[in-house]
Every structure is written in C-alpha cells, then in structure tokens.
Structure 1
Amino acid sequence: MLDDITVDPAVIALRPDFAVLAITAHGLRNGPTDDRSRGWLAEARPVPNDHEKLESWREAYRAFGAKPSRTRPSVDALSRRLPLPEINQVVDGYNAISVKHVLPIGGEDLTRYQGPARLVRTVGDEPSEEALGVPEPGEVVWRDDLGVTCRRWNWRQVARTRITEETTDALFLLERLEPFSLDELKVAGEELAELLSEITPGVRIATRLIVSGT
C-alpha cells in the first residue's frame, strides 16, 4: 500500500515544498473515547490565528482557488474547536497530535479503500459523495479508484473512509509545507506511532516519506 501512494507532479508544481509522511497501522483494536484519549485531547492548546504554519496552508489553498476563510485547512479548523471533540481513541490521538504540531493529519480506513491513495489536481468530474459536492477543476484532492476521499487537500473527508471504532487497518497522512521541517514531521510521526501502540500493543506500523522527486 505505502509504495503505491503517489503525489501528482501538478501538486508538486503548485507547492514544491509539499511532503507527506504516510503511516499504515495494521491490527488496530480501536474503541470509544476513554480517559486516556481524553487526556490527549485535554493537552491541546490554542494555536494563534496568524501562526506561520497555518498561513502556509492558507496560501496553498488560495493557490488552487479555494477561500481558506470558507473552507479551512483541517488543522486550522480543528484548532478553532478547542476543547477538541471526542470521536474515538484513534481519531482522538491523531487530532491531538495535529493541533500540537500544527500539522494536517488525515486518518483513513484501509479496508474501505479501492486502489492506492493519490494526491491529484482534479479535472472537475471526479466522483465524490453528494454531501461534499463535485470538486472544481484544478482542486487538490486525495482519491482512490472509487473517487475522492478528501476534498480541498485536507478540508473534508468522505464518510466512506473514516476511521471508526470498527477500523482494524488504517492509513495516516501527515502533510507538511514549509516552514514545517522534515525533522519535525518525523517526530510527529513517531508520536503518532507511540499513541497507536498504546491503544493496541503489537500493532504493526510502517512508514514512508514522500517528498518532491520521490
């Protein structure tokens, strides 16, 4: 799965500084929010609205024609929702890390994927769930063989691939733009792997860093 993930050259042309750390976790035993995951959520602190990492994502959204004040990058929207919502243990964990590092993180149920994940710029006729609408030409989206899995880069995920309490195999996409460093991206990935191992001792973790030219 990891080796098949691709980032379209058109996306790299838009933002040559883009990188994504892809992490798979197999054998998860997820469950409802508990005291441990509530503790992770409680550690989240407000992010200044003018934080440079948020501004970088807003610039990326404007570059493909989105208005970040209307459809906010995921970490921008999440940081405005403190205290963070309780979803389930796995989602609580990666949401807490997302806000801590000011880093967009997507979580996907691998058993609901058809074909590999790829980040592309749309032509405007890509299948998408009705609730999210049809992507506009040139929009940056994650997709698989069935259609869009996340609109406007990391704005809104489709219901089909969301991580639920029944999820056993998952894909996490940690998305970086400068000034976020690759070293910090590695640290965030290690922290996520540690939380997943707390939730499920013995979970099988694999990672792949995808940067321009790879």
Structure 2
Amino acid sequence: MKEVSLIVKIKPLLFIINDFPLFLEVKPLVTSIHASLCNKIPDFKAGIITYDGIQVGDSPQMVKGRLQLFQESIFFDLQEKELTDFQGIKEWRQVFKAAGTDPSRYRPSAEALYRRIKKQNYLPSVNSAIDLNNFFSLQYEVPIGIYDTDQVSGDTVIKIGESGDDYTGINGRTNSMHNMIASADGQGTFGSPFVDSERTKVTEETKNALQIIYLRPSITIEDGLKLTESLMDMFVQVHGGEATCKVITCKG
C-alpha cells in the first residue's frame, strides 16, 4: 500500500517574544489511505486539494446558472437512461458493495444527487463552495467532499469505518460509518462519499478547506490528476486563495 502525503505551501507564522522575532513553521496536512480500504478496493484513488485563504459567499450568477442548466440537462438524459448507464454512478455502486455497504440503502452522494434531479427536485443554492462542489459531483459522476480544515484535527486518513465510528451529518442524523468508506482525523470520522459531517462543513466563514474527490477506480492516475487540477483551477477562479493538489492511491 502507498500512503501519499499531500504537500502544500506553508507560510511560517511570525511571533514576537521579548522583542525578538520567532518564526514557527506549520506542519502541512497529510492525507493517506488506510490498509483497511486498500485491502478491499486495491484500485482506490482520491484527488486531494487543499485551499488556503479562500473567500466563500453567495454563488456568482454564472455558477448558479451553470448548475441549474446542467441539472435540467441531466433531467432530460434521465428520461431515456437508467442511473446505471452513467459510468461513475455504476462504478461507485460497485465500490460501496466491495466496501461492505449496501448501495441500495446507503447511496453514494453523486447518485443521491442524480436521483433528486430525476424527480425534478433540483438542488438549491447554498453557498459558492457547496454549489461548485455539487456541480463537480454531477459533472464527473463521483462523490466529492469539501471540509473546513480549521475544524479538522491533525492529519486525515481515508479508511473503512469501524464499530463506533459515527457523526452528526449535514442530513441532521447520526450516521454510522461502520463498514463504510470514511475520512477521519484526530477527533474521529468526519466525512464519507455517503454524507459529510456537521462538524467540518464549509460555511461562508471558511477560509481554508480540504477537498476530497472520490475518483472512479478505473481512472488512470494521469487522468485523475487532470480532473483534479481542472476542478481546483475553477474553484480558485471563484474563491481566490492558493491551492495545491495531488492524487493518492493504494499502489506503489
């Protein structure tokens, strides 16, 4: 198994103690894949993006318009296609099964979005970060999570959840991560390709964020990196700040 660290640009913090400057270099956030996940899904890959100094607010009209038009396009596609005709939806149902999760009971978040659209229950605008995150998830047909890193405690790991791994989700319910793919930090699990947590959700106060793109296992590392970079560039165009990205895998 290969656990790949995410390398980010770190600006040293300046403190003045007894009139002497003291620079403290902050340890970069590291995201890795746990053996429990690699043992079940050897081809697991994730795009990892860190953002620093972003500004989240009401979505620009361009983002709102694109999100609405894309949802309408998907709605018409779904009049002629089944959900499993979309390759990303199909693959992520298979991933959930391999992880030990029943995809008919716990749906990958991208599939849940498509099912809403099929009923013409279109996604409302939340804020610029969430709206773009939803747009990307629809476009690439994969779950994508975005988290406020100031609410994340230490390094993060993507793993198979154990008994006792649970959190209050943005759906307002306590969600058990047992036998589900989940992201965890020093305080416990906080996200998954099923539903994310209330603790680390992105709001208009968020300045720094971690984005996890749960890539299709079939995608090549090169294509996964291109997808991740493209997503990152558009996010920065809207939110400003600095960003770095990488694809992590189970393979050496």
TM-score normalised to structure 2 length: 0.76
User: One-letter code of the match for 1:31?
Assistant: G
Question: Aligned equivalents of 2:228 and 2:69: distance in 1?
Answer: 18
Aligned partner of 1:211: which letter? T
Q: Which residue of 1 aligns with 2:115?
A: 80
The RMSD of aligned alpha carbons is 2.1
AA in 2 matched with 1:38: K
Contact 1:141 1:148 in 2 (8 A): yes
Structure 2 unaligned spans of 5+: 8-29
> Once the 2 structures are TM-superposed, how far is the Cα of residue 125 of structure 1 from its aligned partner?
2.0
SS in 2 for 1:133: strand
**2:212 counterpart of 1:208:** no
Give, in whole Å, the separation in 1 of the partners of 2:220 and 2:111. 18
Taking structure 1 as reference, are residues 148 and 177 closer, same or farther at Cα in structure 2, changes over 3 Å only?
Answer: same
Give ranges in structure 1 of 5+ residues lacking alignment: none
Match of 2:180 in 1: 139
Aligned to 2:94: 59
Which stretch shifts more, 122-131 or 24-33? 122-131
Aligned length: 210
Computing the radius of gyration from Cα coordinates, the structure with the larger value is 2
Residue 39 of structure 1: SS of its match in structure 2? helix
Aligned to 1:182: 221
Displacement after TM superposition at 1:127 (Å) = 5.0
Q: 1:102 aligns with which of 141, 153, 169?
A: 141
Aligned positions of 1:1-214 closer than 5 A: 2-3=6-7, 4-44=30-70, 45-46=73-74, 48=81, 49-50=83-84, 51-82=86-117, 83-126=122-165, 128-129=167-168, 131-136=173-178, 138-150=179-191, 153-201=192-240, 203-213=241-251
Summarize deviations over 1:85-144 as a string: whole Å, max 9, x none.
3111111112111111112211000010011121112331235238223332x3321111
Report the residue type matching 2:175 in the other structure: G
TM-score, length basis structure 1: 0.88
Q: Please give the alpha-carbon distance, in whole angstroms, between the structure 2 residues aligned to 1:103 and 1:64.
A: 16
Q: Which has the higher contact order (CA 8 A, sep 6+)?
A: 1
**Cα shift readout 1:140-166 (whole Å, capped 9, x = no counterpart):** 21111111112xx41011101111111
